[in-house]
């Protein structure tokens, strides 16, 4: 069976005047090689295909039967939906969520509206024009100012933490001009940041693992999991699996993660991000239905490392998708699916 690995490669050089994080979401060759090696372990033939203008023709020319989709797409706020939509148009089954889910989750404001009130969120204001800044007094400061339609912490920098409306206004205008998208101004949550991995479909959906993302050292400055921090994660970040939180809070986040996964229509796998408010209550930040699969540094890989080795994680994602679309895949996995371990809390 021929399986396309559909992806966007990270270019060696930035276009003139582009933000330095313009391609933060895109994948390097080490990720594609690792995914390909994992898929070969299931007896399929992986074929990396760049999700550029020529990829519909390449899907046909290579006669692929399935697409393992990690493509971020290019363009505006619907970009993540485009590669999946092309697969649907061509009749090629693929892994991961459908175009609707990929579009609404990239738009942080719409994603929040869909999961709330079932899943609590922090108060926020969506900035589309200068008039929206008049709503800033509705919020309690400090706030975090971030692009509404970006992933991988693009546009989130130390100065995204704003202590008053004046700072928030300046940062909002900067981001709107620099990233050409709407801006989300969200109340800062001072508690722990936790990300949850979810795997599966229907009754088989389960929490894969949860991880607390914490600063490596104490500081008077607020901790933001921003672009600079992620790039220097070995020095600046400590990952705690499971999170250093009471069992009741972990159970609440498991419940909320599964609810968000269902409400947003996620399929096969996703990562859901939370942060605790001042009272210790979890608040939904966003959902990533195309979480990174770098074999070393991606959050989903790190949080699941003690549960599933990398190859098996990739294989489980493929098998979840294959089962969902009833793909006639003859090879059997080298483990009993029903015995796959998963995170439990007590």
Q: What is the mean pLDDT of the chain?
A: 92
Task: Assess whether pLDDT exceeds 50 at residue 334.
Answer: no
Same domain, 138 and 221: no
The pLDDT-based confidence of 276 (bands split at 50, 70, 90) is very high
Number of domains in the chain: 3
Provide mean pLDDT across the span 264-275: 98
This prediction's pTM: 0.91
Provide mean pLDDT across the span 159-170: 96
The pLDDT-based confidence of 331 (bands split at 50, 70, 90) is very low
Task: Assess whether pLDDT exceeds 60 at residue 342.
Answer: no
**Residue 278 within a domain:** yes
Q: What is the pLDDT of residues 55-75, one digit of tens each?
A: 999 999 999 999 999 999 998
**Residue 135 within a domain:** yes
End-to-end CA distance of the chain: 42
Task: Assess whether pLDDT exceeds 50 at residue 338.
Answer: no
**Residue 345 within a domain:** no
What is the CATH classification number for the domain harbouring 167? 3.30.1490
**Residue 118 within a domain:** no
**Residue 117 within a domain:** no
The pLDDT-based confidence of 340 (bands split at 50, 70, 90) is very low
Strand partners, 49: 6
**Residue 311 within a domain:** yes
Task: Assess whether pLDDT exceeds 80 at residue 336.
Answer: no
Same domain, 202 and 335: yes
Q: What is the pLDDT of residues 232-241, one digit of tens each?
A: 999 999 999 9
37: domain range?
A: 2-95
What is the CATH classification number for the domain harbouring 209? 3.30.470.20
What is the CATH classification number for the domain harbouring 46? 3.40.50.20
Same domain, 284 and 221: yes
Same domain, 270 and 322: yes
Task: Assess whether pLDDT exceeds 70 at residue 10.
Answer: yes
Residue 329 confidence (pLDDT): 56
Provide mean pLDDT across the span 216-220: 87
Radius of gyration of the chain (CA): 20
Distance of alpha carbon 99 from alpha carbon 84, whole angstroms: 6
Distance of alpha carbon 195 from alpha carbon 292, whole angstroms: 13
Same domain, 211 and 276: yes
Provide mean pLDDT across the span 213-234: 91
**Residue 296 within a domain:** yes
What are the distances in angstroms from CA 152 to CA 22, 70, 227, 232, 346?
A: 10, 14, 8, 14, 31
């Amino acid at each position: 069976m021929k399986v396309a690995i559909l992806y966007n490669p990270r270019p060696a050089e930035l276009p003139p005047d582009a933000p330095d994080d313009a391609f933060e979401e895109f994948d390097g060759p080490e990720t594609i090689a690792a995914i390909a090696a994992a898929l070969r372990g299931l007896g399929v033939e992986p074929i990396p295909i760049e999700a550029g203008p020529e990829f519909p023709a390449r899907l046909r020319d290579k006669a692929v039967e399935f697409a393992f989709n990690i493509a971020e797409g290019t363009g505006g706020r619907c970009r993540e939906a485009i590669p999946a939509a092309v697969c649907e148009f061509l009749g090629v089954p693929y892994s991961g969520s459908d175009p609707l889910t990929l579009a609404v989750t990239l738009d942080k404001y719409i994603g929040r509206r869909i999961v709330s009130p079932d899943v609590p969120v922090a108060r926020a204001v969506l900035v589309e024009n200068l008039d929206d800044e008049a709503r800033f007094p509705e919020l309690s400061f400090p706030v975090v100012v971030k692009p509404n339609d970006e992933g991988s912490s693009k546009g989130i920098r130390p100065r995204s933490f704003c202590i008053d409306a004046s700072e928030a206004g300046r940062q909002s205008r900067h981001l709107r001009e620099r990233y050409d998208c709407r801006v989300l101004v969200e109340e800062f949550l001072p508690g722990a940041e936790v990300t949850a991995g979810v795997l599966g479909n229907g009754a088989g959906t389960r929490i894969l693992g949860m991880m607390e993302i914490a600063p490596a050292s104490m500081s008077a400055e607020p901790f933001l999991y921003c672009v600079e921090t992620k790039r220097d994660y070995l020095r600046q970040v400590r990952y705690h699996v499971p999170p250093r939180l009471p069992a009741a809070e972990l159970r609440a986040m498991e419940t909320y993660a599964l609810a968000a996964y269902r409400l947003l229509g996620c399929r096969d796998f996703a990562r859901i991000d939370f942060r605790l408010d001042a009272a210790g209550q979890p608040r939904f930040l966003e959902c990533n239905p195309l979480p990174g699969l770098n074999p070393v540094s991606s959050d989903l890989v790190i949080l699941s490392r003690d549960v599933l080795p990398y190859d098996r994680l990739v294989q489980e994602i493929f098998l979840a998708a294959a089962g969902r679309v009833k793909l006639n895949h003859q090879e059997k996995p080298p483990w009993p699916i029903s015995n796959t371990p998963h995170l439990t809390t007590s």
